[in-house]
């Protein structure tokens, strides 16, 4: 894919080189997400991304949405072995049995939270706001909060959400603001807590 045209805005370096990355960075990454199905989508996509480029996931995102009923938790929780077989044959998504089965298990685990809302659970691990990092090398891959989140999710039956994936989820859903200090995207700390 060709590089996006230069619009003069300073962005986080990881978003360079692809219009998909740029648009995801500018419009979505780091913005607070609190709706159950939207959070379930992010958990699912982060799990599918494990070991792959995020660009692969962005390119297949609409296919994932189609394949997983727009990440409607109740619908995905009802998926059966027939659905797993169908998904394994779907070339529009990442065809990994363990990740497909984890997505279904995670939908069921989300429903199993009972009176605890998924947003309430996930956001309970959000650290206090901190200054934006000066450069990409200052961004951690794992934090005590993401380790605690991963541990609690596993305890509640979630799969494929280790500490690194949990931290990526925290970044993607605005629980932490890892846009660089020089990035044009306005801070959203006021929206977080």
Which residues are marked as active site?
24, 46, 54
Report whether 43 contacts 168 (CB < 8 A): no
Per-residue CA distances from 187 to 1, 116, 143 (Å): 29, 28, 20
Among positive and negative, which fits the CA dihedral 173, 55, 180, 178?
Answer: positive
Report whether 146 contacts 127 (CB < 8 A): no
**What is the C-alpha to C-alpha distance for residues 120 and 14, in angstroms, rounded to an integer?**
29
Query: Taking Cα atoms as reference points, which of 108, 32, 28 lies closest to residue 74?
Result: 108
């Amino acid at each position: 894919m060709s590089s996006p045209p230069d619009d003069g805005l300073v962005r986080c370096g990881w978003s360079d080189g692809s219009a998909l990355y740029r648009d995801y960075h500018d419009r979505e990454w780091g913005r607070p997400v609190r709706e159950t199905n939207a959070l379930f989508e992010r958990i699912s996509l982060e799990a599918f991304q494990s070991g792959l480029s995020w660009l692969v996931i962005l390119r297949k995102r609409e296919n994932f949405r189609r394949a997983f009923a727009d990440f409607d938790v109740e619908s995905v929780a009802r998926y059966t072995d027939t659905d797993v077989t169908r998904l394994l044959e779907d070339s529009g998504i990442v065809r990994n049995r363990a990740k497909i089965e984890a997505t279904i298990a995670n939908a069921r685990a989300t429903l199993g939270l009972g009176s605890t809302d998924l947003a309430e659970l996930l956001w309970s691990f959000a650290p206090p706001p901190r200054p934006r990092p000066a450069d990409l090398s200052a961004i951690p891959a794992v934090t005590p909060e993401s380790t605690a989140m991963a541990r609690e999710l596993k305890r509640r039956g979630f799969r494929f959400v280790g500490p690194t994936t949990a931290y990526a989820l925290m970044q993607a859903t605005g629980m932490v603001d890892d846009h660089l200090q020089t990035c044009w995207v306005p801070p959203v700390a006021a929206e977080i807590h």
